[in-house]
Amino acid sequence: MRGSAILVCSVLALGCGAKTGLKIPDTESDASMPEDLGPDLAPPDLGQDLGEECVPFRAEARLAALDIFLAMDVSGSMEQPTASGATKFEAITRAIDGFVSSPDSEGIGVDLTFFPFIDEDIPENCTSDLDCRGDPEGCATPDVCLPSGDAFCFADSDCGTPGDRCQPLGICGGFDPNLCLNIGDTCPDGSRCRDYGICLGRTSCNVANYMRPAVPLGLLPGVASSVVTALESSSLEGGTPTLPALTGILSRARDWSVDNPGSKVISILATDGFPESCDPAVDLLEDDPSVGIVAPAAVARDAAADGIETYVIGVFGPDEEMEARANLSTLAMAGGTEEALVVTTDDAVTEMLLAILDDLRSSVRTCVYAIPAAGVLPDPTTLQVRIIPPDGMPIELERVSGPMACDPMLGGFFFEGDLDPGDRPGFIELCPATCNITAASDDFVVEMEAGCDD
């Protein structure tokens, strides 16, 4: 019955919902150069109009800027309590507050988008399509298959258990979806058991609505107060339109990355449920959360091919943890990251989420380096990268095809995303084994060099 309970929550939208400290570097103008470089290898004059001209360079690299596009779930289920007594949303807000307010986050760019977007012109409650004021999606009023009670339905044909019939289903008042079978009877909370539905179109499926952030991209700490204020003033309502929300933020993240090639741009999806609306593949009576993962995963996969990774953070009840980890990890891995980061409401949610965000900041801001040169890199495969220890010989790094090709002992570096001929990548990422070396001491230098064919 648990899966069906999740389903009716998503249909009725009763609060179930979707079930590194450096400033941005001026890499060209402030790059250092070893004393033994000849004039032919000097960094270019940034004032010249380079066009497609090949410009050789050799210079010390700087850690790339980090810009985060955060998609925050504000569905009704975020009102559910955690073990600390705070709601899910309050616990997550406190973690984000701690992250954006930390001195270690100075210089990080943050962009905040909420989902779902609620169309205030469409009423929330309804008993028929007429109540929804022209909403083409209409009013959803599911019933239940009895006597088994193992599925929701709109007609007898929706009931798969022999002998079951689709019987009227009501709901009691309050946040938690206390289902009732006898319309008109008094509920345990004193409210009346009533037939109930919601106008499906109130939760917007329009991608354009998710292209408008609540807080546009800005640098920390300057934008920190705007992020916290936006979170604290949010209203919690509706279901989980993950597909249009992720499509919207990844589109904006991709555009920003193109215009800012020296920045490491990532997206973070923070949710407490599974995708269950605004996806034609997901039927209203769908009880398999994996069905709603397919389309968002495809969107995340396309963005990862362009170098925009998607991290997924989930907060779920203990009984949903395994299912959440499996399904959301499919989405995270499609987005080029490892398994989803899932905590339960029995955990210390704020503390665990803050630790996750801190680890994420540290890993991205210690391993990703901007390429310190203007102009066009004639062939990305000619880029040479080396680390120079304070005492010892430089260590030349091997370029590998991607993170999965990193040797656990030898390390190396890679470009993120697919590169077309003539593209100039904005940054490289060190393999974990190499990153561990450079992160161990500030005395290690990462140097890059590229020449021209002639």
Q: Express each pLDDT in 167-187 by its tens digit.
A: 888 877 654 456 787 788 888
- What would the mean pLDDT of 188-206 be, rounded to a whole number? 84
Determine the straight-line distance between the first and last CA of the chain, rounded to whole angstroms.
71
Same domain, 268 and 294: yes
pLDDT at 11: 37
Q: Please check the confidence at residue 46 and state whether its pLDDT lies above 50.
A: no
For residues 421 and 111, the model is more confident at 111
CA–CA dist 88, 15 (Å, integer) = 11
pLDDT at 221: 94
121-130, 252-261, 312-321: least confidently modelled range: 121-130
pLDDT at 52: 52
Out of 157, 177, 195, pick the residue that ends a domain: 195
CA–CA dist 292, 96 (Å, integer) = 27
Does 309 map to a domain?
yes
CA–CA dist 157, 164 (Å, integer) = 9
Q: What is the pLDDT of residues 131-160, one digit of tens each?
A: 888 777 888 888 888 888 777 888 898 888
Does 442 map to a domain?
yes
Same domain, 57 and 89: no
Q: Which residues constitute the domain of residue 437?
A: 39-62+370-450
Q: Give Cα 106 to chain centroid, integer Å.
A: 21
Same domain, 268 and 413: no
Out of 365, 390, 424, pick the residue that ends a domain: 365
- What would the mean pLDDT of 213-232 be, rounded to a whole number? 96
Residue entry with tokens 């999806």: 269
**Element containing residue 444 per DSSP (H, E):** none
Per-residue burial over 309-339, b if 16 or more Cβ lie within 10 Å, else e, is: bbbbbbbbbeebbebbbebbbbbbbbbbbee
Does 232 map to a domain?
yes
pLDDT at 295: 96
- What would the mean pLDDT of 300-304 be, rounded to a whole number? 94
pLDDT at 371: 79
For residues 454 and 368, the model is more confident at 368
Same domain, 99 and 74: yes
Out of 330, 365, 400, pick the residue that ends a domain: 365
CA–CA dist 373, 29 (Å, integer) = 9
For residues 292 and 134, the model is more confident at 292
Cβ atoms of 32 and 59 within 8 Å: the answer is: yes
Q: What letter represents residue 171's amino acid?
A: I
pLDDT at 374: 56
Q: Please check the confidence at residue 381 and state whether its pLDDT lies above 80.
A: no
Burial of 382 (0-12, 13-18, 19+ CB in 10 A): middle
pLDDT at 139: 87
Same domain, 268 and 297: yes
* pLDDT band at 62; cut points 50, 70, 90: confident
CA–CA dist 1, 21 (Å, integer) = 48
Cα-flanking dihedrals φ and ψ of residue 448, to 5°? Answer: -125, 150
Does 16 map to a domain?
no
How many residues comprise the chain? 454
Q: Does residue 221 have a cis peptide bond before it, meaning omega lies within 30 degrees of 0?
A: yes
Does 1 map to a domain?
no
* pLDDT band at 453; cut points 50, 70, 90: low
pLDDT at 402: 82
110-114, 129-133, 296-300, 425-429: least confidently modelled range: 425-429
pLDDT at 20: 23
CA–CA dist 92, 110 (Å, integer) = 16
Q: How many domains does the chain have?
A: 3
* pLDDT band at 260; cut points 50, 70, 90: confident
Q: Please check the confidence at residue 39 and state whether its pLDDT lies above 50.
A: no
Same domain, 100 and 157: no
Q: Please check the confidence at residue 197 and state whether its pLDDT lies above 50.
A: yes
pTM (2 d.p.): 0.75
Q: How many helices (H) and strands (E) does the chain have?
A: 8, 22
Does 112 map to a domain?
yes
Does 130 map to a domain?
no
Same domain, 178 and 284: no
CA–CA dist 414, 402 (Å, integer) = 5
- What would the mean pLDDT of 332-343 be, rounded to a whole number? 91
Same domain, 111 and 154: no
Same domain, 312 and 273: yes
3-state class (DSSP) for residue 208: helix
Mean residue pLDDT of the chain comes to 81
Same domain, 165 and 311: no
3-state class (DSSP) for residue 280: coil
Same domain, 189 and 333: no
Does 297 map to a domain?
yes
Same domain, 230 and 315: yes
